[in-house]
A and B are shown apart, each in its own frame.
Chain A
Amino acid sequence: MVQFILRRFLAMLLTLFAVSFVAFAIIQLPPGDFLTSYMASLAAQGDQVDPRVIENLRQQYGLGEPYLVQYWKWFTGILQGNFGQSFEWKRPVWELIWGRIGYSLLIEGMAVIAMWLIALPIGVYAAVRKYSLGDYLATIGGFIGLAIPNFLFALILMYLSFVWFGRTIGGLFSPGFENAHWSLPRIWDFLQHAWIPVLVLATAGTAELIRILRANLLDELKKPYVTTARSKGLPEWKVILKYPVRMALNPLVSTIGWLLPALVSGSVIVSVVMNLPTAGPMLLRSLTTQDMYLAGAIILLLSVLTVIGTLISDILLAWIDPRIRYGSR
């Protein structure tokens, strides 16, 4: 088990390294280096450009030096917690994004939990009552859930709520709570707002999970150990929950690994539509204004979180499946 985690961990470090490289490549893509844009933006606002500041920045980022040197300076800076400077906001990137990344993480984490909470009972029901009305409804709902792009779903929900209830849904807080400190009423206010984006984000994943769970469970229900459990005299619901459902969960846990990238992707665009104070809208804004260090940092952090999430799901899988834990198969 330790060896397994260690191996996975090393692989993750390599991936993270590659991720940082890609993020930096994106920073570098727009024509011209960032100082030129920086000076342009300062000049546009009529600010004085202090040549010493410029020279300082040039030193710090290694501009004009080979690509790899620049990358190395940026990368080591990040390791020390320095994500560079946002020239639109004229503040360190980290200050700008940590709160937003936190909300992203929160919303995505809640979406993962929601996915499981919804998919589990429906998937089990659909498999145990195969070809029942509920099963058909779940299948149809699943197909539609997969086909509706989540930003469109968010748009439709917002439209309906505006037309039917005359109120706009969006954001994560009511105006009064936006900048308040965390307190019970604020948490309550947050939950009242958050459930809609969470639900929107969870749809596609839920549909996918139901499909996989149903297929897995249908396979497992036919296995002899289910009959053994019945022959012990266990009540039927306990037979199903303790044995085949438990088994069907194993492959399901590993699906988190590839649901997560889609979820993070989706959250960016849903956040833009629903105007959430998460990383998504800031990423979009920084990209349109070519605020590349900010954009690069957000892309890097979102990818890193995805990779870490995948690692966690791998470890979770190993932990719940003794066959992997003990290195069999």
Chain B
Amino acid sequence: MTPQTPMVDKPLLKIEDVEIAFSSPDEADIVAVRQVDLTLTAGKTLCLVGESGCGKSVTARAVLRLLDQNASISRGRILFTPPGEETVDIGALKSDSLSMRAIRGNKISMIFQEPMSSLSPVHTIGDQIDEMIMLHEDLKPKEARERTVSLLDQVGIPGPRERADTYPFQLSGGLRQRAMIAMALACTPNLLIADEPTTALDVTTQAQILDLLKKLQDDYGMAMLFITHDLGVVAEIADEVAVMYLGDVVEQGDVFEVFRAPRHPYTQALMRSIPTMARKADRQRLSPIKGTVPSAKDRPQGCAFTSRCPHAFEPCPTVRPERTQVGEGHVARCHLLTQDTTRAEELA
């Protein structure tokens, strides 16, 4: 809808070197996310992939400053540049400040994993969407409701006018998630963060929701930060992909690049764990990644993947690998890529 400004010198959202730590009264701080760099541009989708607990949700919530009280962004910047406006460092804002609240829902909005528990069970769908619209735009309740109805229609909810007066528990999971999406889009945000929006849905509904998101993205021209652990979903929706492991972004790049030629051992292992369609005789055993994810407390100083990496060598446990350019807009953090050329060959 909104024509893209040709000056693409500044990306919409630039997460630079962000570290997020959780404090607790009787234990040492836990660094859930360390050194994350991500870049989002308008109209594009970045998928954040990783196992549960790797810090992808925490990263996404940090963008909206929705982290719990005991979490803090201890380093780095989150630079947000809405089209035609000044850049703000979200990381430096107070989480309940006026300027942060003006961004939430209005410029950046979010869809959550559980459409049931993420909507208030005692308010109607319409109420909850109206509230968002009236909060950010100077509209009368009637006008807001008109917008709500057209939004519900747009996300493919049949009978939107009547459905606006229903409660979440009266809708199916798919419809609920559509309502959630309608709410997120209510103020035509520049960036939509989707935190595993399809995980709680069954497979056919999943596909419909993904199609809907893709279509809406085309219509609205917004950027999307899509969080998932499902590589199938990544292949479906992503333009770019960032792979996270235990608080680190280990590899990032164009989705085709990364899928075709993963350069980090973890990404490679992930790719190998996707089942492929084959006749029974040709089927191969999946090779799961050996070992289990250590807790953030036991993470080595260097590369987080050291304990499970088949190629680990001397510098891995102690030295943090640098971001290394391995292709057009394709970076990875692995010592193999910088230090040991022979092994790098072998990896490639």
Contact = CB atoms under 8 A, between A and B. Distances in A.
Nearest to A250: B122
Interface string A217-249: 000000111011111111110000001001100
Interface in B103-133: 103-106, 109-110, 112-114, 117-123, 131-132
The SS class assigned to the A binding surface is helix
B320 interface: no
B334 to A, nearest CB: 34
A233 B106 contact: yes
A252 to B, nearest CB: 13
A134 B144 CA distance: 40
A235 B96 CA distance: 7
B170 A328 contact: yes
A231 B109 contact: yes
A224 B96 contact: no
A43 to B, nearest CB: 66
Interface residues of B, number: 31
Contact of A247 (B61, B103, B122): B122
B102 interface: yes
A321 interface: yes
B101 A228 contact: no
A323 B119 CA distance: 14
A251 interface: no
Contacts of A322: 121-122, 167, 169
Contact of A243 (B61, B120, B135, B169): B120
A35 to B, nearest CB: 58
Nearest to B98: A235
A236 B66 CA distance: 11
A321 B119 contact: no
A201 B149 CA distance: 50
B122 A231 contact: no
A227 B66 contact: yes
Contact of A227 (B103, B112, B131, B183): B112
A162 interface: no
A258 interface: no
A232 B132 contact: yes
B104 A233 contact: yes
B214 interface: no
A247 B120 CA distance: 9
B64 interface: yes
B136 interface: yes
Given A231-B104, A233-B103, A250-B122, A323 B169 contact: yes
A218 to B, nearest CB: 13
Given A243-B120, A247-B122, A326-B170, A232 B66 contact: no
Given A224-B118, A246-B122, A247-B121, A233 B96 contact: no
Given A233-B102, A322-B167, 19 more contacts: A223-B117, A224-B118, A225-B117, A227-B66, A230-B66, A231-B105, A232-B105, A233-B101, A233-B103, A233-B106, A233-B132, A234-B101, A246-B120, A247-B121, A247-B122, A322-B121, A322-B122, A326-B167, A326-B170
What 3 A-B pairs are tightest by C-beta distance, nearest first? A233-B104, A233-B105, A232-B105
28 contacts: A225-B118, A225-B119, A227-B61, A228-B118, A228-B180, A230-B66, A231-B64, A231-B104, A231-B105, A231-B109, A232-B104, A232-B109, A232-B183, A233-B103, A233-B106, A234-B101, A234-B131, A235-B101, A247-B120, A250-B122, A320-B122, A321-B122, A322-B167, A323-B121, A326-B170, A328-B169, A328-B170, A329-B169
Interface of A: 223-225, 227-236, 243, 246-247, 250, 320-323, 326, 328-329
